[in-house]
Structure formats: structure tokens, C-alpha cells
Amino acid sequence: MKEFTVSVFTENKVGLLNRVTVVLTRRHINIESLTVSESEVEGIHRFTIVINVAEDQVKKIVKQMEKQVDVVKAFYHETDETVHQEIALYKMPISALSNGLNLEKMLRHHHARILSVSPEFLIVEKTGHKAETQELFNQLQPLGLLEFVRSGRIAITKPMKKFSEHMEEMHAF
Amino acid sequence: MKTLTKEKSSAFTDTENISGALAIVKCLLEEQVEYIFGYPGGAIMPVYDAMYDYQEELKHILNRHEQGAVHAAQGYARATGRVGVCIATSGPGATNLITGIADALIDSTPLVCITGQVPKRLIGSDAFQETDVIGISLPVTKWNYQITKASEIPEIFAKAFYIAASGRPGPVLIDITKNAQIEMLDYYYKKCDHVRSYVPVPKANPTEIERAAELINKAKRPFLLFGHGVTISGAEKELKEVIEKTGVPAAWTIMGLSALETEHPQNVGMLGMHGNYGPNILTNECDVMIAVGMRFDDRVTGDLNTYAKQAKVIHLEIDPAEVDKNVKTEVALVGDCKVTMQALLPLLKKNNHKPWLQRFHDCMKMEQEMIIEKELHPSKEGMTMGEVIRRINDRTDGRAIIVTDVGQHQMVACRYARFQQHRGNITSGGLGTMGFCLPAAFGAKLGAPNRDVVAIIGDGGFQMTLQELGTIWQTQTNVKIVILNNEFLGMVRQWQQLFFDKRYSATELVNPNFVAISKGFGIDAERVDKRENLDDALNRMFGCEQSYLLEIMVEKEDCVFPMIPAGASVSQIRLS
Ligand SMILES: Cc1ncc(C[n+]2csc(CCOP(=O)(O)OP(=O)(O)O)c2C)c(N)n1
């Protein structure tokens, strides 16, 4: 088992999320993270899915996804072939600022930023790999962390090939 | 069957302002649909109303259950190679289609299924007969779409027919809200021939084709397996040329049956769980395996860890997702197998593999002595399924379309019928759907009116869709129906006998009077319980211009052999 990032390029159609995820759920594969956004090509959406499976299995999965009529192309990459990021938000009580534990230094050390401050709480943002946002989480929790949320992974692959080139190849025959 | 004239069809290409319902009818006519199998209800009534004016051009068949409608559409599609079309109302009408849709997906059958839906404004409100058909059908359709505006109709229908029929065929479902059937639109139809996200027919790489040819030319013990893909792409001629040029022994999956005549000297028989001994046991001795249009189903391969591990596998397959799914290939030729074989043929050397082929014949001789002889010429009093099948087959010169249900009779029919004509075998292979046969046979007859269509059904499966006798009667369609009655759910009973100490849990049937039922539906029928009456009964059945039903009593506790127990290796095939 290894961590793979699967990128799926699709038409922008209602219901397609189900068609893509059912390929995984049907095979009891847990989705570690899933993000959907637009891509650089107009009308084409991009799914970024993180799963832990054997390489043999991820190959089959990608083909099953591509088999869906509205899926244009699907790829899989090992984590170190991608540049990836996640974003996390932390809600802290205002009191955490003044209890002598030096929250400010902690945030500076983690390159986190404060997005918003109100009389009762402040909201901190940190982007990074999961391990990094997790580390900050671990440090903030003893300080009275009120709420925490983390996004799915977004990833761009290092190998240089534009999606539009893949499109052309598909219909080259 | 009357088809549209050119003039009439081109008149449709001008824009006209018509209702969504009428647009649907016109789309179907543009796609040259001759039959539509269905059942009406509230959410699809506008379409039924529009069909009323086109009864000549678009024949609606009123099945007796939506499952019957979809299986009939499948039978039609399988007999003709064209898209089968069915229609149902929302809610229960739509859910009743699901079994057939799942069956069509796994057996690559082109269908367009149309379902009515509650008006758009009611969607999501748990309205009367509202169900999430798109959600329910998603995993069992090649593509599905909900139309909520009339203006979408022409484009979506064109796309549906294109997707259903192209590449690896499959079922498409279009759900249409009632408001979209009533609204007006400016109708203009253009056939679809391209969807940008979809590559229906990949083209096999020429260097890979060369590699495949080299492997085949050098092989000492090549073995070819063929499946449904050959029939779907109409590659029967190319398959025969490949076989005859290379001298390779060829075996079939039940979905590939009838793509090569049974009597061909290199046709070595059936693969899989109840297949012939030779093709199974020698799977683990071939050095090059050429798989054409088949997908290595577990009923064919048994345990994959002991399946053809010694062989270099060449896979001719249209669906990239099937390649390396179950069996690792040495050379993958992803494309239409007809085109691939055409490219392969000039590279193949003329060869013969007589001693290797002889081994298959030797195995067949042994199987003949141990199993086939007893099945065809039984010494016991009761009739066997095999002898009945063989007599029917002889009566029709192997040219009938034999449609089977699921169970022992299905395996026996596939094993003992000798096919002389393509598209001769229609069965539910992948899903194994009991109840498939009767409606599918009916649909097949509409698609192939000039062929004899014989439905071979178990007494269990017959009772799953026997209401379709009503459809057969109403349409005066000539289907020959043969119930092989063993008064058991035979195949399950066989497993209970072999693997569950003969504990016959819920497999014994107390049957109704099938002859009276058939006659009640207006279809002449008789029961045959003695061998000496069989031939006369068959003469009466085939001599009859109309549908006819024979209930043939067979041995109650016969087993189908050979058998590879589920999950066992092809090498563990049992002869008794
Ligand atoms: C819809 C459905 N339900 C259950 C089964 C499981 N099943 C497979 S074969 C079989 C027995 C079929 O009995 P019958 O129709 O009498 O045919 P026979 O095996 O006796 O020839 C059953 C129950 C099935 N294939 N399909």
C-alpha cells in the first residue's frame, strides 16, 4: 500500500462526482481526501483524490474512472511526483493570546497567519502538508483550540505535460 | 418492417416548434427505432400520447412488466446488433427496469431506456412516484442523464444512441421530467458522432500488433479464447481466418458461443465452470493465449492464481479497463477486435498445430465417453436435458436462435446445441438473471423474424416472467417455448448435492399446470413425459405457425458435468 494522488479531469456535469467516487467506494477504498475545482481548460473540472492502495490497484482504478463517458482523463502519481498543499483553519479563544505561552511566536514559527480577530476568538490559517498543519493542531490544542477544519489536498504534478495535449492525443486517431 | 423514407426523414431536419413528447418520438424515428418496449404510467403519459399518432412507424410493445420490457429490448438488441429501446413511467416503472439494465451493462448490450419523472418543480419533494432513478441506475448504466427542459431532448437523445451503440456497447438511461415532455421546443435533430470526453474505439498500436504476431508465430501450443466481442464487432469472418491460418485451437465463453460454428474442426469447445474438459484443463498447458473480445470472468478462469500462469497472454479488447484487470497480459491490443485481427492477419504465418489440437480431441473423446454419451443417449428411463436440446437443435439445423434462462438448462443448452449461424445464442451470461429468457426470446423474434427462436427455460425461471406470455399472445409472435421441468431449482440443487450434503433447502418446486397456464394465455401447449413422445411433440411445435409451449419432464436430480467448483482452479475440473 502506498499513497497515490489521483487527478481526474472531467466534464462539468451533475452527478459525475458519484460516478467517480463509486469506483472507489464499490471497492471499499477509503478516500483520504477529495477536492474538486475548475481546471485551466474551460468547462473541464479537476478532481484531486488521495487514496492508499497498491500500485496494481490504482492502475485499474484510474482505468475504471476513465471508462466513465464524461471523464476525459485520469492519472495517478506518487506523492513525491506532485507539489501539493492543504489549508487548515483554527479557531482559538482570545484568552490564548494572553496566557503567557507565546502564541504569537508559535504562529510565526509555523508561518501561520491570523485571518480575523473578534473580542472572543481569533481565526488562524496555515497552508502546508498534512503533517505540518497537524503539528500546529497538536500545539494549539492544549491552548484551548475551539474549532479546526482542514481542506482536501490540491496537487499539481511535476512531469511537464499540459492537459490540452492529452486531449489532442485522445482524439489523434 | 417499414422504415422511414428519405423524404420523411429529411423533413425532420427543419426546425419545427413541437412538444417535448413529440420530439422524443421524432428522435426515435430518426434513430430508425422500429420497436419500443414499455409500460405506461402517469409521468410518461405525454410521450404515450405522442406515440399514438405514430403507431405504424414506431411499434410500441406493451409488455406485462417493465422487467419484461427491458429484457425484450435486450433480446432484440442481441439478435440484431442494434440499439434496443424501452420506456417506463417514474418510480416503480423505472425501478422495475434496473435488473435488465444491470444485465445489459455486464453483457455489453446497447439499450436506450427512457423513464418518465415527476415535474421538475416536484423533484426532491418525495412526490408521488418520485424516485432518484439517476442515482439508482448510475452504477449500472454506461451513461445516464435527466432531462428537465424540452430544449435538451434532441441533443441528449442523439448522444444516448451514440453512446449506447459505440465502442463497448451498453445501456443508457434518460429520465425525463413531465414538464419537459409538455413544454414546446424548436426541434432540430442532428445525429451524434463525437463526445469529446469519450474514445469509444481505441486503435491498437501497430508495433504491439507485430509483437503479438511474432508471439503467435513462434508459439508451440497457442490457444485462442473468444467471447462476445467477436459477435459485437461482427468479426466472425476474421476470427475464422485467424484460426484457420494459424491452426490454433479455439474455445469460447458462453457469450462467444455461435461466433464460430460448433462443428469447425478447430472449435474445441466451451470454457469455464461447466465447459468442456479439454479447453479447461489445457488452459494450464498452452504457451501463448490469445484472448479475443472476452473479459476473463471468474466463471471462465476459476482461481486466478492458478490460471494460465505459464502462458504469454495476448488480449484483443476494446475496453482498456478490461486489460490487466484479471489476467496480466504480455501484449495488449486495445481496439475493435475486427480491425485488430484484420491488421494481424497478414503478419501471421500459416501453420498447423496438429499434435496439440489432437490433445483437445483426445480430451473430448474422454469427455464423450464419460459424460456426453450418457447425456445424449441415456440408458435410464427419464429424459436428460442434453438429449432434448440435441433433438431441438437437429430439428432446426443449428440455425435457430436459442435463448436460455439461467441454471442447469442454460449450461446444458450451451454445451449440447451445435450452432451453424451467428447470433444463435442469447443468454444472460454476466448477471445470470433468471427470468431473462421468455421476454428476451420474444424480443429476439421481433428482431429476427425469419429465424426460429426457441426459448429454453427452467421451471423456476419460467415463473419469474411468465406474464410475458400475454405479450407474446397479444402480438401474435411466434416463439417456441420449451420448459425443461425438473421440479427443482436445478442448479442450486446441484450445488446442494455436491457441496451441502444434499440438504435441499428451498429448492424443491411444487409447480402449477404449465400447459393450462399457457393455454390460458392463448398459446397451445403440451406436456411431454416420455421419450417416445418427444419427436412427435417437437414436430407439432415446429409445425405450428404460432407460438407453442412444450413442458418437457426431465430427470429430477441430474447434475451438469464437468464442473469446476467455484473458486477452484481450471485444473481441478471434475468429471463427476
Ligand atoms: C433472479 C435470480 N435469482 C436467483 C438466482 C440463483 N439461481 C441460479 S440458477 C437457479 C436455479 C434455476 O432453476 P430453474 O429455473 O428451474 O432451472 P434449472 O437449473 O433447473 O435448469 C437459481 C435459483 C438467479 N440466477 N437469478
CATH number at residue B14: 3.40.50.970
- Using CB atoms within 10 Å of the CB of residue B342, give its burial: 0 to 12 exposed, 13 to 18 middle, 19+ buried: middle
**Quick one: average pLDDT of A84-92?**
97
A10 reaches B (C-beta below 8 A): yes
**Quick one: average pLDDT of B55-61?**
98
Q: What total of structural domains would you count in chain B?
A: 3
B485 belongs to a structural domain: yes
Residue B128 is a catalytic residue: yes
User: How confident is the model at residue B1, as a pLDDT?
Assistant: 40
- Using CB atoms within 10 Å of the CB of residue B360, give its burial: 0 to 12 exposed, 13 to 18 middle, 19+ buried: buried
Residues B27 and B143 in one domain: yes
Selected residue of A69, A75, A169 to mutate for chain B interface (largest B Cβ count, 10 A):
A69
**Quick one: average pLDDT of B458-478?**
98
Q: What is the DSSP string of B59-111?
A: EEEE-SSHHHHHHHHHHHHHHHSSPEEEEE-STHHHHTTHHHHHHHHHTT--E
Superfamily, domain A84-150: ACT-like. Chain A, domain 2 (3.30.70.1150)
**Quick one: average pLDDT of B485-514?**
98
Instruction: State the distance from the centre of ligand 1 to the C-alpha of B560, rounded, in angstroms.
Output: 14
Q: How many helices (H) and strands (E) does chain B have?
A: 25, 20
Residues B52 and B157 in one domain: yes
Q: Name the nearest CA neighbour of B455 among B433, B438, B435, B434.
A: B438
Return the beta strands (E) in B188-229 as ranges. 222-226
pLDDT tens for residues B120-179? 999 999 999 999 999 999 999 999 999 999 999 999 999 999 999 999 999 999 999 999
Instruction: Please determine, for residue A16, whether its predicted confidence score (pLDDT) is greater than 90.
Output: yes
| Spatial separation of the C-alpha atoms in residues B93 and A14, rounded to whole Å | 23
Predicted confidence band of residue B245 (pLDDT cuts 50, 70, 90): very high
**Quick one: average pLDDT of A4-10?**
96
A23 reaches B (C-beta below 8 A): no
Cβ of B428 closer than 6 Å to ligand 1, yes or no, is no
Contact A6, A75 (CB under 8 A): yes
CA distances from B563 to B59, B372, B570 (A): 44, 13, 9
| Spatial separation of the C-alpha atoms in residues B445 and B438, rounded to whole Å | 11
CB atoms within 10 A of CB A166: 13
A11 reaches B (C-beta below 8 A): yes
Predicted confidence band of residue A159 (pLDDT cuts 50, 70, 90): confident
Residues B351 and B405 in one domain: no
User: How confident is the model at residue B267, as a pLDDT?
Assistant: 98
Instruction: State the distance from the centre of ligand 1 to the C-alpha of B427, rounded, in angstroms.
Output: 13
Residues B355 and B386 in one domain: no
Largest Cα–Cα separation, chain A: 68
Q: For chain A, where do the domains classified as CATH 3.30.70.260 start and end?
A: 2-83+154-172
What are the grid coordinates assigned to B195, written together? Answer: 463526445
Instruction: State the distance from the centre of ligand 1 to the C-alpha of B574, rounded, in angstroms.
Output: 21
pLDDT tens for residues B373-421? 999 999 999 999 999 999 999 999 999 999 999 999 999 999 999 999 9
Residues B25 and B83 in one domain: yes
User: pTM, whole model, 2 decimals?
Assistant: 0.96
Instruction: State the distance from the centre of ligand 1 to the C-alpha of B407, rounded, in angstroms.
Output: 5
Label residues B69-100 b or e (16+ Cβ within 10 Å = b): bbbbbbbbbbbbbbbbbbbbbbbebbbbbbbb
A69 reaches B (C-beta below 8 A): yes
Instruction: Please determine, for residue B185, whether its predicted confidence score (pLDDT) is greater than 70.
Output: yes
pLDDT tens for residues B78-135? 999 999 999 999 999 999 999 999 999 999 999 999 999 999 999 999 999 999 999 9
Residues B392 and B506 in one domain: yes
The Cα of B321 is separated from the nearest Cα of chain A by a number of Å equal to 5
Instruction: State the distance from the centre of ligand 1 to the C-alpha of B297, rounded, in angstroms.
Output: 19
Residues B536 and B389 in one domain: yes
A55 reaches B (C-beta below 8 A): no
| Active-site choice (B26, B142, B159, B178) | B178
pLDDT tens for residues B278-297? 999 999 999 999 999 999 99
Predicted confidence band of residue B13 (pLDDT cuts 50, 70, 90): low
What are the grid coordinates assigned to B99, written together? Answer: 435488473
B195 belongs to a structural domain: no
Q: Hey, are the CB atoms on A69 and B197 less than 8 Å from each other?
A: yes
The Cα of B143 is separated from the nearest Cα of chain A by a number of Å equal to 7
User: How confident is the model at residue B480, as a pLDDT?
Assistant: 98
- Whether the complex's predicted ipTM is more than 0.95 is answered with no
Instruction: State the distance from the centre of ligand 1 to the C-alpha of B434, rounded, in angstroms.
Output: 6
pLDDT tens for residues B434-450? 999 999 999 999 999 99
Quick one: what percent of chain B has pLDDT higher than 90?
Answer: 97
**Set of chain B residues whose Cβ sits within 8 Å of the Cβ of A66:** 320-321
User: Sign of dihedral through CA atoms A155, A157, A162, A168?
Assistant: negative
Residues B242 and B336 in one domain: yes
Name the closest-CA residue to atom 11, ligand 1: B489
User: How confident is the model at residue A104, as a pLDDT?
Assistant: 86
B368 belongs to a structural domain: no
B201 belongs to a structural domain: no
Instruction: Please determine, for residue B11, whether its predicted confidence score (pLDDT) is greater than 70.
Output: no
The Cα of B394 is separated from the nearest Cα of chain A by a number of Å equal to 43
Contact B257, B282 (CB under 8 A): no
Q: Hey, are the CB atoms on A69 and B142 less than 8 Å from each other?
A: yes
Q: For chain A, where do the domains classified as CATH 3.30.70.1150 start and end?
A: 84-150
Q: Taking the domain A2-83+154-172, which CATH number applies?
A: 3.30.70.260
Residues B435 and B473 in one domain: yes
**Quick one: average pLDDT of B193-217?**
97
| Spatial separation of the C-alpha atoms in residues B223 and B278, rounded to whole Å | 11
User: How confident is the model at residue A18, as a pLDDT?
Assistant: 95
The Cα of A37 is separated from the nearest Cα of chain B by a number of Å equal to 17
B367 belongs to a structural domain: no
User: How confident is the model at residue B5, as a pLDDT?
Assistant: 43
Cβ of B461 closer than 6 Å to ligand 1, yes or no, is yes
Last residue of a domain, one of B311, B326, B360: B360
Residue B491 is a catalytic residue: yes
Residues B151 and B275 in one domain: no
User: How confident is the model at residue B4, as a pLDDT?
Assistant: 43
The chain-wide mean pLDDT, for chain B, equals 96
Instruction: Please determine, for residue A115, whether its predicted confidence score (pLDDT) is greater than 50.
Output: yes
Residue B129 is a catalytic residue: yes
**Set of chain A residues whose Cβ sits within 8 Å of the Cβ of B323:** 63
| CATH code of the domain covering residue B316 | 3.40.50.1220
Contact B179, B121 (CB under 8 A): yes
3-state DSSP call for residue B441? helix
Q: Hey, are the CB atoms on B320 and A72 less than 8 Å from each other?
A: no
| Spatial separation of the C-alpha atoms in residues B324 and A18, rounded to whole Å | 25
Residue numbers of the domain that contains B438: 381-553
Cβ of B486 closer than 6 Å to ligand 1, yes or no, is yes
pLDDT tens for residues B320-376? 999 999 999 999 999 999 999 999 999 999 999 999 999 999 999 999 999 999 999
User: Sign of dihedral through CA atoms B205, B211, B216, B222?
Assistant: negative
Nearest to A173 among B139, B203, B319 (CB): B203
Residues B210 and B168 in one domain: no
What are the grid coordinates assigned to B134, written together? Answer: 439517476
Tell which atom from ligand 1 comes closest to the C-alpha of B484.
21
pLDDT tens for residues B259-278? 999 999 999 999 999 999 99
User: How confident is the model at residue A172, as a pLDDT?
Assistant: 64
Predicted confidence band of residue B3 (pLDDT cuts 50, 70, 90): very low
| Active-site choice (B273, B491, B541, B563) | B491
Nearest to B143 among A64, A69, A173 (CB): A69
Is the N-terminal amide bond of B562 cis, ω within 30° of 0?
A: yes
User: How confident is the model at residue A54, as a pLDDT?
Assistant: 97
Instruction: Please determine, for residue B2, whether its predicted confidence score (pLDDT) is greater than 70.
Output: no
Q: Hey, are the CB atoms on B320 and A71 less than 8 Å from each other?
A: no
**Set of chain A residues whose Cβ sits within 8 Å of the Cβ of B325:** 60, 63
Q: Hey, are the CB atoms on B138 and A15 less than 8 Å from each other?
A: yes
